[in-house]
A and B are shown apart, each in its own frame.
Chain A
Amino acid sequence: MKNAPLPLKNLIRKPGRTTALVLLTAFLALAVFGGSVIILSLRTGLRSLEARLGADIILVPSEAQSKISFQNMFLQGTTGAFYMDAAVTDKAMGVPGVEKTAPQTFLASLKADCCSVKIQVIGIDPEKDFTVQPWIARSLTGELGDMDVVTGCRVEAGIGEIIRIYDQRCKVVARLEPTGTGLDTAVYCNMGTMNTLLAAAEAKGVSHKISSGDDSVVSAVYVKVKDGYDIDTVNSALTGKLRKVTAVRTRSMITGVSDSLAGISRTVTTMVIVIWALALIILMLAYILIVRERSREFAVLRLIGASGNMLGRMALTESAVCGLAGGLVGTGLAAIGVFSFSALIESSLGLPYLLPDPGTLLLLAAGTVILSAAVSALASAFAAWRLSRVNPGTALREGN
């Protein structure tokens, strides 16, 4: 401490003043880091949803939209099921412009003794699937065998554990990476397992049979359109050819989410800007008042030979150190808040929400800290300029 530079001594030996400045800057950093993480998480979530859907068009039974909000199923993990004839998969392949199709069958487990957890079970055909299979392949090296399941990251079951679905024992063989969407609460299995589960559910009174009485059903068919084909045209062709089936463009789903995201982004950005503007004004006023309060101290320094620039540098250094400390505190607090309550934020926003990768977060944190130090120094710049012009004789006489 004895040999510490003067600005540091000034900060340490005036703890009240220093704490106030640090807290003010911390508030600023908290708003920036917290706001930025939320916006980035929403964007990352949207990208993840786009990637996970992986299809241009989704075919669902016509009554699906009235039974359950298709969007909520993907975004919030609402469970539900609807069925149509499995032949839709092959029929869709016959439509010009369709490159590939992938069926999925849904089954909602019950909150009852027969089921460990209430979840959405999704059956896929690993050979045909181009939507979930690439993600499963990242987590599972082997094949997805019968009565094996892959869980979303938010299903509370570890690898190797057994979960019961309609009294059927399914083994968790892998867990998927987070998507920030409702898909994180789903469980995936192959069609063989799904047929077993559908039969078990039927036995419990949960029917999957369609009006034709056919047992071979799917819930949705994901369609990839060939390059060079207009997706809307293919969409119309599919709607025309397939009865009692609705073709939904994935982009229209994404657009809704994207619009909500843009709205939230705008709100958060506006709030951050307002907080920054207010904090900047408060900081500037605080520094001006501090300089006035310290005018005698600065006059003494001038008296013993400190130049105006030296005093200016000293004031800038002090404010930058306060800004740096405030940046660290604010970013730390924001990180604790945003990471601890990410599930709550996600559920209250009702949008795909996925934290960016650690590298991006670190970069953002470093940027926020540097920005806080720079803004703090900027806020004190006017005060520092006034300091550089202080006349020791006058200042000492005024402070006498």
Chain B
Amino acid sequence: MLLRADHISKTFFRSTGSANYFYAVSPLSMEIAPGTVTVLTGRSGSGKTTLLNMLSGILEPTEGKVWADDTDLYGLKDAALSRFRNDRIGVVSQARSAVDTLTVAENILLPAKLYGKTPPEEETRYWMKAFEIAPLADAMPKELSGGELRRMAIIRALVQDPDVLFADEPTGDLDDENTKKVLSALHAFAHERNRAVFIVTHENEAVKYADRLFRMEKGQIMQPESE
């Protein structure tokens, strides 16, 4: 699936300052193609997460459109867009993103369970083992460290097998070894399965895995740093 942003922008209301509205993301266009890892870097508050949210169907742009092949993402009604996200878009949030009342394994299988799909249990076991959280399958999220929770969220997105996987600071709580493991898993996911991966990060290590590298400053995308 080719994801295409067409002149999208996002403004937010701000009660202080001279202007009431400010651009979190200035109008921009970009494409996220299958089989590539796109890495977006930039300082905090530069609009990276807002852009990721718009591209992943979570946050409607103030202007412009996001196309998934020929589908206008935000032209879909909530139920259809939600189903579309569940089927074709995976998101690893920057924030702690576990449902506290479910075990680790239940959290990972939740996207499939939401729409009554066959739960990818085999794949879940594989990734839990690979990311060294297999013994925590029946643990509750509150028993996990930040790094373990992060890996759980990444596995959840991977086993969802989306066409496009968005990861916001996926290595934020991870040590070097796990950072490499996660980044190479995301890289393999893109290249071996011909999926698109979009990573927002501060992590220099991620740059090594990028097929396309962007930098964001004050809501604007700078020219691609490498192709």
Interface residues of A (CB under 8 A from B): 2, 6, 9-10, 13-14, 296-297, 299-310, 388, 391-394, 396-397, 399-400
Known interface pairs A6-B102, A391-B59; 14 further A-B residue pairs with C-beta atoms within 8 A, sorted by A's residue number = A13-B140, A296-B97, A297-B101, A300-B97, A301-B114, A305-B83, A305-B84, A305-B115, A309-B78, A309-B79, A393-B59, A396-B93, A396-B95, A396-B97
Q: Are B78 and A307 in contact (CB under 8 A)?
A: yes
Q: Are A400 and B101 in contact (CB under 8 A)?
A: no
Contacts of B81 in A (CB 8 A): 307
Contacts A396-B95, A400-B95: A304 and B58 contacting too (C-beta < 8 A)?
no
Q: Are B82 and A302 in contact (CB under 8 A)?
A: yes
Contacts of A388 in B (CB 8 A): 78
Q: Are A13 and B101 in contact (CB under 8 A)?
A: yes
Contacts of A307 in B (CB 8 A): 78-79, 81-83
B6 contacts the other chain (Cβ, under 8 Å)?
no
Contacts of B85 in A (CB 8 A): 303-305
B98 contacts the other chain (Cβ, under 8 Å)?
yes
Taking CB as reference atom, which chain B residue is nearest A306?
A: B114
Q: Are A300 and B114 in contact (CB under 8 A)?
A: no
B160 contacts the other chain (Cβ, under 8 Å)?
yes
B193 contacts the other chain (Cβ, under 8 Å)?
no
Taking CB as reference atom, which chain A residue is nearest B115?
A: A305
Contacts A304-B111, A304-B114, A393-B49: A400 and B83 contacting too (C-beta < 8 A)?
no
Neighbour of A305 across the interface among B59, B95, B114, CB < 8 A: B114
Interface residues of B (CB under 8 A from A): 49-50, 53, 58-59, 78-79, 81-87, 91, 93-102, 106, 110-111, 113-115, 140, 156, 160
Taking CB as reference atom, which chain B residue is nearest A300?
A: B97
Give CA–CA (A119, B91) in the complex, Å. Answer: 82
A287 CB to nearest B CB, Å: 17
Minimum-distance CB pairs A-B, first 7: A305-B86, A307-B82, A393-B53, A13-B101, A396-B95, A400-B95, A304-B111
Among the interface residues B78, B87, B93, B140, which one has the most CB atoms of the partner chain A within 10 A?
B93
Q: Are A304 and B160 in contact (CB under 8 A)?
A: yes
Contacts of A397 in B (CB 8 A): 49, 95
Contacts of A306 in B (CB 8 A): 82, 86, 114
Contacts of A305 in B (CB 8 A): 82-87, 111, 114-115
Give CA–CA (A397, B83) in the complex, Å. Answer: 23
Contacts of A297 in B (CB 8 A): 99-101
Give CA–CA (A400, B102) in the complex, Å. Answer: 19
Contacts of B91 in A (CB 8 A): 303-304
Contacts of B94 in A (CB 8 A): 396, 400
Give CA–CA (A301, B84) in the complex, Å. Answer: 14
Q: Are B58 and A303 in contact (CB under 8 A)?
A: yes
Contacts of A2 in B (CB 8 A): 106
18 A-B Cβ contacts within 8 A?
Answer: A2-B106, A13-B101, A13-B102, A296-B97, A302-B58, A304-B114, A304-B156, A305-B82, A305-B85, A306-B114, A307-B81, A309-B78, A392-B93, A393-B50, A394-B59, A396-B94, A399-B95, A400-B95
Contacts of A9 in B (CB 8 A): 101-102, 106
Give CA–CA (A225, B171) in the complex, Å. Answer: 96
Contacts of B78 in A (CB 8 A): 307-309, 388
Contacts of A310 in B (CB 8 A): 82, 114
Give CA–CA (A310, B114) in the complex, Å. Answer: 9
Contacts A392-B58, A393-B58: A300 and B111 contacting too (C-beta < 8 A)?
no
A395 CB to nearest B CB, Å: 9
Among the interface residues B50, B85, B160, which one has the most CB atoms of the partner chain A within 10 A?
B85
Among the interface residues A13, A14, A307, which one has the most CB atoms of the partner chain B within 10 A?
A307
